[in-house]
Amino acid sequence: MFSRIMPAHAAGGMQDHVQTLSAGLVRRGHHVTVITSARTDGIERATVDGVDIHFLKGTTVGRYSPAFWASSARACADLHARTRFDVLHSHSVGAYGAQKQRLPRDLGLPLVTSLHGTHFDVLTTSWHTDFALTNPVGIARFGAVSAQMLWHYAARDVWFIRASTIVIATSDADVEKYKRYYRLGDAQIRKVYNGIDTHLFAPINDPSLQTWRTDLQIDPQDKIILALARLQKDKGVQNAIAILPRLLEKMRATLIVVGDGNYRAALEQLARTLGVAERVRFVGTQSLAACARYFNLCDVFVDPTLRTDGYDLTIAEAMACAKPVIVSDVGANATLIDQATARDGILIPRGDNAALLRETLDVLNDPTRARALGIAARAKIAARFSIEAMVEGMERVYQECAL
């Protein structure tokens, strides 16, 4: 595995996916090595859940760099001489350095590539979060992001992705996107959904959850709305805060925000400005086990993201806990939620706070509907989006291309 970032670097979706997939493969009897960027504490090797992880000294923590490309290719060749790999798996363009050095060809190894979003997704996200004719800084940022993304697309990504043996699409929408953006044929694309731990993320009936409510100073009569994300502008948590003044006119409620990031101070200020600070609880980054309990504590999970990307695993985790979810209809979220029937979740237009308010009120005011949404959501995730289903799907891809 090649990944620029792992859970040892920071919390986030791609790094959690790489670790979860790798550990799942180890449990099925495979040997998995991950090549990744340096750690801030200088540790160069660790074993986590049976996964052998190599942190490349002298590279930029969590980021691509010329040093990462060179070091990752060198580490791959050295490790292969000792371990004899069967498959190389690149997360995003993590194996670009190895491909540039022609290691897949020279070592006779297939290269599988999992894309965690595209540059066009980044551009769409930047358009919705930065661009405004009245904001010169936003215009400048959008222009800079556009130039950088288009350069990477033309100079690196198209060549690298087309040279991969198999490209993994993690959602229904990705298949057509990869055909259009990278001119891939059906024979080169395989669909394997990202999976979550449906044993950890499951409905629980634990009296201690009420202790959490007390510790958070949430009134027993309050409905609990949950948002869980990195606190960055493109994650849209500000929209969940923005609807609170009008929602609180209709019912008692508290918003719990799980996560941290450089946008937290702005979110806290927004809550104060809107006069709802006492109805918002910022609890910071939490362990996966704690996140599972927060999902079970809430009455509804909201993800009003502005970001065009693969589906957020937090949506699947909330659904696995049998909770109703209200999320932006962007990126691959429609892979998780059936928009036509709305039986397992609710999709709303990006940035539409009126829809977010309306749907949140409807769900909170209708316990029967909320329960039905949660039951259908749990069944869907358990059947199609579990870690076991993901690992088995990836195993089939490896077996196919390693023949």
> ∠ CA 192-151-305 to the nearest 5 degrees?
50
- Residue 234's nearest CA partner among 313, 356, 127, 360 is 127
Q: What is the DSSP string of 325-383?
A: EEEES-TTHHHHS-TTT-SS-EEE-TT-HHHHHHHHHHHHT-HHHHHHHHHHHHHHHHH
Q: Is residue 171 located within the same domain as residue 237?
A: no
- Residue 145's nearest CA partner among 164, 124, 123, 167 is 123
Taking residues 375-391, what's their average pLDDT?
94
Instruction: Give residue 300's domain range.
Output: 208-384
Taking 90 as the threshold, does the pLDDT of residue 31 lie above it? Answer: yes
Q: Is residue 395 located within the same domain as residue 361?
A: no
Q: Is residue 111 located within the same domain as residue 64?
A: yes
Beta strand 33-37 pairing with 51-56: parallel
Judge whether 2 lies within some domain: no
- pLDDT tens digit sequence for 340-364: 888 999 999 999 999 999 999 999 9
Contact between residue 112 and residue 397 where contact means Cβ atoms under 8 Å apart: yes
Q: Is residue 35 located within the same domain as residue 169?
A: yes
Q: Say whether 45 sits in a helix, a strand or coil.
A: strand
Average pLDDT, the chain: 90
Per-residue pLDDT at 310: 66
Per-residue pLDDT at 307: 79
Q: Is residue 236 located within the same domain as residue 378?
A: yes
Judge whether 111 lies within some domain: yes
Judge whether 200 lies within some domain: no
Judge whether 56 lies within some domain: yes
**Residue 187 CB-density burial (10 A; 0-12 exposed, 13-18 middle, 19+ buried):** exposed
Judge whether 393 lies within some domain: yes
Contact between residue 310 and residue 194 where contact means Cβ atoms under 8 Å apart: yes
Taking residues 58-74, what's their average pLDDT?
96
> Picking from 253-262, 294-303, 331-340, which range would have the lowest pLDDT averaged per residue?
331-340
Instruction: Kindly indicate the confidence band of residue 68, based on its pLDDT and cuts at 50, 70 and 90.
Output: very high
Contact between residue 196 and residue 386 where contact means Cβ atoms under 8 Å apart: yes
Per-residue pLDDT at 130: 53
Q: Is residue 101 located within the same domain as residue 224?
A: no
Q: Is residue 341 located within the same domain as residue 352?
A: yes
Instruction: Give the whole-number percent of the chain exceeding pLDDT 90.
Output: 73
Per-residue pLDDT at 332: 81
- If one compares 227 and 308, the residue with the highest pLDDT of the two is 227
Contact between residue 31 and residue 397 where contact means Cβ atoms under 8 Å apart: no
Length of the chain, in residues: 403
Q: What is the DSSP string of 229-296?
A: S---GGG-HHHHHHTHHHHHTTS-EEEEEE---TTHHHHHHHHHHTT-GGGEEEEE---HHHHHHHHH
What type of residue is 391?
V
Q: Is residue 165 located within the same domain as residue 58?
A: yes
Contacts of 78 (CB under 8 A, 6+ apart): none
Instruction: Give the whole-number percent of the chain exceeding pLDDT 70.
Output: 89
Judge whether 29 lies within some domain: yes
Q: Is residue 272 located within the same domain as residue 393?
A: no
Instruction: Kindly indicate the confidence band of residue 390, based on its pLDDT and cuts at 50, 70 and 90.
Output: very high
Contact between residue 135 and residue 319 where contact means Cβ atoms under 8 Å apart: no
Q: What is the DSSP string of 334-347?
A: HHHS-TTT-SS-EE
The CATH number given to whatever domain includes residue 217 is 3.40.50.2000
- pLDDT tens digit sequence for 103-161: 999 999 999 999 876 545 544 555 455 544 455 666 666 565 566 656 666 668 888 99
Judge whether 1 lies within some domain: no
Taking residues 58-85, what's their average pLDDT?
96
Per-residue pLDDT at 133: 47
Q: Is residue 186 located within the same domain as residue 253?
A: no
Per-residue pLDDT at 14: 85
Taking residues 319-335, what's their average pLDDT?
92
Instruction: Kindly indicate the confidence band of residue 205, based on its pLDDT and cuts at 50, 70 and 90.
Output: confident
Q: Is residue 135 located within the same domain as residue 171?
A: yes
Q: Which residues pair with 12 in a beta bridge?
A: none
258 phi/psi in degrees, rounded to 5: -100, 125
Per-residue pLDDT at 147: 63
Q: Is residue 185 located within the same domain as residue 214?
A: no
Q: Which residues pair with 48 in a beta bridge?
A: 51
Task: Say how many domains are in the chain.
Answer: 2
Judge whether 3 lies within some domain: no
Taking residues 333-338, what's their average pLDDT?
88
Per-residue pLDDT at 139: 63
